[in-house]
Structure 1
Amino acid sequence: MDRLWYRHYNPKVPHQLDYPDKPLPVLLEQTVAKYPRNVATYFMGATLTYKALWDQIQRMATALRDLGVQKGDRVGIMLPNCPQTIVAYYATLQVGAVAVMTNPMYVEREMEHQWNDAGVQVVFTLDHLYPKVDRAAAATRVQKIVATSLRECLPFPLKWLYPLKARKDKLFTAVPYDDRRVFSFTRLLRQSAPSTTPCPATLEDLALLQYTGGTTGVSKGVMLSHANILANVIQICGWNPELQWGKEKVVGILPFFHVFGMTVAMNQPLYTGATIILLPRFEIDSLLKTLHKTKPTLFPGVPTIYVAIVNHPKIKEFDLSSIRFCITGSAPMPLEILKKFEEITGGLIIEGYGLSEASPVTHVNPIGALRKPGSIGVPVPDTDCRIISLEDGVSQVPVGEVGELAVKGPQVMKGYWNMPEETAQTLRDGWLYTGDIAKMDEDGFVYIVDRKKDMIIAGGYNIYPREVDEVLYAHPKVLDAVTVGVPDPYRGETVKAFVVPKPGETVTPEEIIAFCKSKLAAYKVPKAVEIRESLPKTMVGKILRKELREEEIRKYEQSKASS
């Protein structure tokens, strides 16, 4: 294969990499030996050194073994970004078990599906989530619950003020610890001795079941091995020749239960001896104060976060000049936002691409070499990609033509948990068919056009919502926007845009449509525009296009039924 992209690599980035032959916990132990006094985590003023973090991981590994967890067992981790999440994750891997990361915002039905499908037996969670976890566990194989509180990792005086705020916010829950079914995270640490048992996992053993819904269908468990996750960590490290080992400070705001956050904001910083600045949720004022105070150097994020920073009314009051590099993915990065953010910080935003099935990163724009804003960049080392014909699903299309993006590399999953048919559809001859529509230019840079499932077919024309979204974001009054295909009795589908104005701005549907007419072919212009105060989003900040489309379909069916 003619790998066009190699000639645009930074000269310091090799085409192939060497990968350690040890599982993740063993590599963390090596980092601890190298940087024992480095601060591993910063959480609202409280810090843990690498030595202290490793001690907690080893104590929790002992506790898990005492709770009956064995190699290959599945352990649910339903926590926000806090030190306990890292301890639970690495302790699970240390005993050879498989982590099942669960979104804390899940309702009981979603928990039940995931834990039943994975066969989870032990769950880590927060105290105020305990009631719904307890109810969901009753309908699953979960036998033991380990609960913790954010208070347990706060510094004085926040530790003592937390219960007052928790009661005010109606988050206070008295967990019925009984040391038989319900256990205290802190008590387990205190009562358990550090483990002396070597990690029994091999590189090919499962480390993670990462559940993904994709755009349609039931949530699927992506099987990622230690080798998969480790390969992606090494690929990301190798991609940045400016990486300063043992010195970086990384913003940990991307949720660790999402594979993007897990790899770039948790595993990769821990592998390199960096400090992770933990934030349990995205709240713009709190984020800016933390950035100003802690002076991070690396900032993995998603466009929604950068949009909020750029548009904050008091942004000039915060010093963000310590930020050198940002990596963004999960959603398109509006060019105007990228330019404004780089002007404010002096740092560089590097756009990339990934998916749960690839641990997740497959493409990134080069650092210190040719960068093409609007593209997802080029394949990372040891990763190949093809653009496959949408007509036959087999042949490659020429440069510049649109097709389905397929990738191959050491970070690609082993398959879907207990789903052989879905695995066979997605993994073909070693290639991962992503479901994303893309094109490659003459330099090997890839551009995502849209999801196969999101493409709008109106009157026989193929319309890619992302193209319309880019135009909407270019409007000076628009803060957030998304385009969906809605049912239309004449065209089959038609284009509808949902728009959130910037604070203090007012915009009308007519203005938006007129703006789009000046920048898009007539058939691509939204036929309807709805102005909203907010849009539904995932915890990672990705706008839920599917949810809005389903809402419109329900409206359409109801109107047909009543007419």
Structure 2
Amino acid sequence: MFMTQSLHRAVRVHPRKIATICGDRRHDYATFHERVVRLAGALRAAGVKAGDRVGILSLNSDRFVEFFFGTWWAGGVVNPCNIRWSASEIAYSLSDCDTRVLLIDDQFLPILPQLRAQAPCLGTVIHCSDGPTPDGLSSYESLIASSEPAEEIVRGGEDLAGVFYTGGTTGFPKGVMLPHRALYVNALALQAAYGDMSGMIGLHAAPMFYLADHDFLNTLALAGATHVTVPMFQPKAVAAIIEKERVTGALLVPTMLQMLVDAPTTREHDLSSITFLFYGGSPIAEAVIDRALPVMPNVRLLQAYGMTELGPVATILKPEYHTGPGRALGKIRSGGQPCVICDVRIVDEHGREVPRGTVGEIAVRGPGVMLGYWNKPEETAKALKEGWMHTGDAGYMDEDGFIFIADRLKDMIVTGGENVYSGEVENALARHPCVLQCAVIAIPDERWGELVHASIVCRPGTSVTLEEVQVHCKALIANYKIPRSLELLDSLPISATGKVMKNKLRERFWSGRDRRVG
């Protein structure tokens, strides 16, 4: 298994099919292949050897797709940088895995001097925007035009394909090492769950450094489908591009899906072409799904649960469980069943499997699991035990093999000796008509140890009180799970991958204490 296999097939089978769409640019697979092999030639000329890391710091574009395949064609290893991190965090990820070549666009040129200062390993920097190339940098398009096509260095199987950094909100980021087989089998798993994707026009609106979107990208490539890119997620722009290009498939995290369906401008566009929506990355409220279905009347929703260390998918909830009789079974509240490449079990603190219906830690094994964390053997040993990746997520498995995600173990609230999983409270809060977004955390309490605290963003023109929230929740969840305090916010702190950064919400409550949550 090697990641350029799909490109070889596409050029032989349908060279004139559109591969990438970015604004007014369209490249068929023959042109895409030519650009990839010339980019590989430029990387080889810059000193990239088999196994060397190549980074990219850029908004979404067709060049991002070319970066992946060009790096692999040259025998290199991709390091897609988190565009929401600080310059110091980005520099750490570059220097940690000795990334010597970096592609950068106009958006991030202002921090390049800081990156060079803090990541002295950086040598060649390639400017990959349409504007003028600054002095001292190489022009992406000039390199494509002038470089000789490179002979492929074929690496596959257990060979390292990418270092994907995770974390960055607490402590130092960890570089997750994923081999070719992990990325390849994850694409196979997604295609197996959905079916034939060869005719799909797929939209990259989530950040392309994000591994979930990367899995979507690899699946589209495997199917020989078309990639459409927008620079970043903006509801109006996403709705407009779906209508213009008749996009049929997309990957969105729940926060993005909610923003898209709730934006007033979305109703100005025809989203009926969407037949497949792949979502995941964090829990989703059923109310959001209910609002999404009328906006995208032909959509089939597919949820995936996983993490970067799994390459990234562990379980999949298929479309039939989102509507009709399947919805009535109640499986929509789950993360789905183990996908075709995974073995999943629920274990206790000693690694022993627990009975069905019992909450424990979710552990996963299979060919999608990482090789380990870059240069972090101790953390690798804690996560990987006898072939099983211990996710740090709490959940249970029902009698049908569906995994219900209770929470991140670190997000569990212990109040008066009772365990409260914040996801359950958030799902109840989301059903209140005034609640647009919400997050539940533990805050310290001298009597109970921890209390359930809710942070809520209200819908425009509405407000809600703690008493109203408590009355609403009392009908849905046990009394000890009901929020005991409330704050109304204009927005929640959101990470680059669309997840709520609960550590940011906790900071002011736990600062200065010996015992911290998170």
TM-score, scaled relative to structure 1 = 0.86
1:356-403 Cα offsets, whole Å, 9 max, x none, are: 0011011101345756211111011131111001xx422111111101
Q: State how far apart, in whole Å, the 2-side matches of 1:116 and 1:402 are.
A: 39
- Does residue 1:213 correspond to 2:167, yes or no? yes
Amino acid in the other structure paired with 1:306:
L
Which residue is 2:235 aligned to?
284
Which residue is 1:298 aligned to?
249
Q: State how far apart, in whole Å, the 2-side matches of 1:367 and 1:515 are.
A: 30
- Does residue 1:194 correspond to 2:153, yes or no? no
Amino acid in the other structure paired with 1:500:
V
Deviation at 1:216, TM superposition (A): 4.8
Q: Is the alpha carbon distance of 1:206 and 1:510 closer, same or farther for their aligned partners in structure 2, counting shifts above 3 Å?
A: same
- Does residue 1:366 correspond to 2:318, yes or no? yes
- Does residue 1:176 correspond to 2:134, yes or no? yes
Amino acid in the other structure paired with 1:226:
H
Which residue is 2:335 aligned to?
376
Which residue is 2:123 aligned to?
143
Which residue is 2:443 aligned to?
486
Q: Which residue, out of 175, 181, 202, partners 1:250?
A: 202
Which residue is 1:223 aligned to?
177
Which residue is 1:118 aligned to?
97
Q: Is the alpha carbon distance of 1:83 and 1:122 closer, same or farther for their aligned partners in structure 2, counting shifts above 3 Å?
A: same
1:438-489 Cα offsets, whole Å, 9 max, x none, are: 1111111111000011111122111111111101111111111100111222
Identity in percent: 34
Amino acid in the other structure paired with 1:45:
D
Amino acid in the other structure paired with 2:367:
P
1:207-243 Cα offsets, whole Å, 9 max, x none, are: 00011118854211111001110011111111223x2
SS in 1 for 2:364: strand
Deviation at 1:299, TM superposition (A): 2.0
- Does residue 1:539 correspond to 2:496, yes or no? yes
CA contact (8 A) 1:123 1:142 kept: yes
Which residue is 2:187 aligned to?
233
Q: State how far apart, in whole Å, the 2-side matches of 1:189 and 1:361 are.
A: 34
Which residue is 2:346 aligned to?
387
Q: State how far apart, in whole Å, the 2-side matches of 1:24 and 1:339 are.
A: 37
- Does residue 1:496 correspond to 2:453, yes or no? yes
Alignment: residue pair count? 505
1:62-115 Cα offsets, whole Å, 9 max, x none, are: 001111111111111111210111112211111111111101232221022111
CA contact (8 A) 2:200 2:225 kept: yes
Which structure would you say has the larger RCO, counting Cα contacts within 8 Å and 6 or more residues apart? 1
1:467-518 Cα offsets, whole Å, 9 max, x none, are: 1110111111111110011122222211111111112323333322332233
CA contact (8 A) 2:204 2:213 kept: yes
SS in 2 for 1:373: helix
CA contact (8 A) 1:25 1:199 kept: no
Structure 1 segments unaligned to the other structure (5+ residues): 1-20, 153-173, 559-563
SS in 2 for 1:536: coil
Which residue is 1:310 aligned to?
261
Q: State how far apart, in whole Å, the 2-side matches of 1:416 and 1:96 are.
A: 21
Q: State how far apart, in whole Å, the 1-side matches of 2:265 and 2:149 are.
A: 47
Deviation at 1:339, TM superposition (A): 2.0
Q: Is the alpha carbon distance of 1:214 and 1:495 closer, same or farther for their aligned partners in structure 2, counting shifts above 3 Å?
A: farther
Amino acid in the other structure paired with 1:129:
F
SS in 2 for 1:319: coil
- Range moving further from structure 2, 474-483 or 508-517: 508-517
Deviation at 1:419, TM superposition (A): 1.1
Which residue is 1:38 aligned to?
17
- Does residue 1:476 correspond to 2:456, yes or no? no
Q: State how far apart, in whole Å, the 1-side matches of 2:111 and 2:403 are.
A: 43
Q: Is the alpha carbon distance of 1:281 and 1:192 closer, same or farther for their aligned partners in structure 2, counting shifts above 3 Å?
A: same
Structure 2 segments unaligned to the other structure (5+ residues): none
- Does residue 1:66 correspond to 2:45, yes or no? yes
Deviation at 1:285, TM superposition (A): 1.1
Deviation at 1:138, TM superposition (A): 2.1
Q: State how far apart, in whole Å, the 2-side matches of 1:483 and 1:361 are.
A: 25
Q: State how far apart, in whole Å, the 1-side matches of 2:240 and 2:54 are.
A: 35
Q: Which residue, out of 500, 505, 511, partners 2:468?
A: 511
Q: Which residue, out of 217, 221, 238, partners 1:270?
A: 221
Deviation at 1:258, TM superposition (A): 0.9
SS in 1 for 2:101: strand
Which residue is 1:5 aligned to?
none
TM-score, scaled relative to structure 2 = 0.93
CA contact (8 A) 1:111 1:136 kept: yes
- Superposed CA RMSD in Å reads 1.9
Q: State how far apart, in whole Å, the 1-side matches of 2:471 and 2:228 are.
A: 44
CA contact (8 A) 1:148 1:185 kept: yes
Q: State how far apart, in whole Å, the 1-side matches of 2:411 and 2:169 are.
A: 8
CA contact (8 A) 1:39 1:49 kept: yes
Which residue is 1:416 aligned to?
373
Which residue is 1:434 aligned to?
391
CA contact (8 A) 2:341 2:368 kept: no
